[in-house]
Amino acid sequence: MLVASSADGFTRVDAAFLIPELGPRPAALVKVNSGKTSEFGLVVYTGAPVHVTDVMGRAASNGLSADDVSGILTQLFEELSALRIGNVVKLEATPDGWHLVKVRERPATKRAPLP
């Protein structure tokens, strides 16, 4: 799944799942629980499989209808399957919709200096 992140991937901004905003040509990623936008998303491991119906349930609890989000979520899951955990992405509008663009590979590990 995607969570809000900084462009370098080092700072996870929030634990809320991100989905593309609703509409024919989404321009941003939005948090499922609040609707606030985030420019970048970090691909994370949730500890358990996440299915379209799981995210639809969260979206429905925030007033979004299943019809509104089912197509977007299906495409989102297809796009996520081509990415790896730790990749930083952003949403890019295209003439026929949208797709996720990888901005950065996994962030390099920050190592503490040895004594």
Run of H or E residues at 100: strand 97-104
- H/E element holding 52? helix 52-60
Predicted pLDDT of residue 86: 87
Answer for the pair 1, 54: CB distance below 8 angstroms, yes or no.
Answer: no
* Amino acid identity at 67: D
CA distance 71 to 52: 10
102 pLDDT above the threshold of 80:
yes
More confident residue, 90 or 67: 90
CA distance 10 to 58: 26
Q: Which residues pair with 31 in a beta bridge?
A: 18
Q: Where are the domains of the chain?
A: 2-104
Q: According to the model, what pLDDT value does residue 10 have?
A: 62
Helix (H) or strand (E) segment spanning residue 68: helix 66-80
Q: What is the largest CA-CA distance in the chain?
A: 57
